[in-house]
Each structure stands twice: as C-alpha cells, then as structure tokens.
C-alpha cells in the first residue's frame, strides 16, 4: 500500500478545466495547487482532491 494517499493523480489534469475560463490547468507540485494563468487563480488540492470552487481559489500575485 502506498503512503501517497494525499498525492494528486496527474491524469486528472486531462479531464479538469478552469471553471472560469474553461481552459487548461497547470499543476504546481510545491504548493499543491492547480493554476489557471488566464484567470489568475490557484485552486487548492486537499487530500488529493482538487477543489474547483472559485470561492476556494486564491488570486495569483
């Protein structure tokens, strides 16, 4: 059994899109976020699950 229960499955990137722009997302390993550069938002990944709610996203600097 793997100890990576909180890791994000990168294959999910193929199915996920930004809820604002409907564009592609980039995965930031260090911050555990999905980044939408056009929307200037970072969506958190918690316990391996992407939280794709705009209210939960942080604005990029």
Q: Flag whether 5 is in a domain.
A: no
6-60 residue pLDDT tens: 678 888 888 999 999 999 999 999 999 999 999 999 999 999 899 999 999 999 9
Has residue 1 been placed in a domain?
A: no
Report if residue 22 sits inside a domain. yes
Domain span holding position 15: 10-59
In a domain, 3, yes or no: no
The whole-number pLDDT of residue 6 equals: 64
**Tally of domains in the chain:** 1
In a domain, 50, yes or no: yes
| Three-class SS of the chain | CCCCCCCCCHHHHHCCCCCCCCCCCEEECCCCEEEECCCCEEEEEECCEECCCHHHCEECC
What CATH number did the domain enclosing 22 receive? 2.20.25.10
């Amino acid at each position: 059994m793997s100890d990576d229960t909180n890791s994000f499955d990168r294959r999910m990137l193929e199915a996920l899109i930004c809820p604002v722009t409907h564009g592609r997302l980039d995965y930031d390993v260090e911050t555990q976020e999905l980044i939408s550069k056009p929307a200037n938002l970072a969506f958190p990944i918690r316990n391996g699950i992407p939280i794709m709610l705009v209210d939960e996203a942080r604005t990029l600097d």
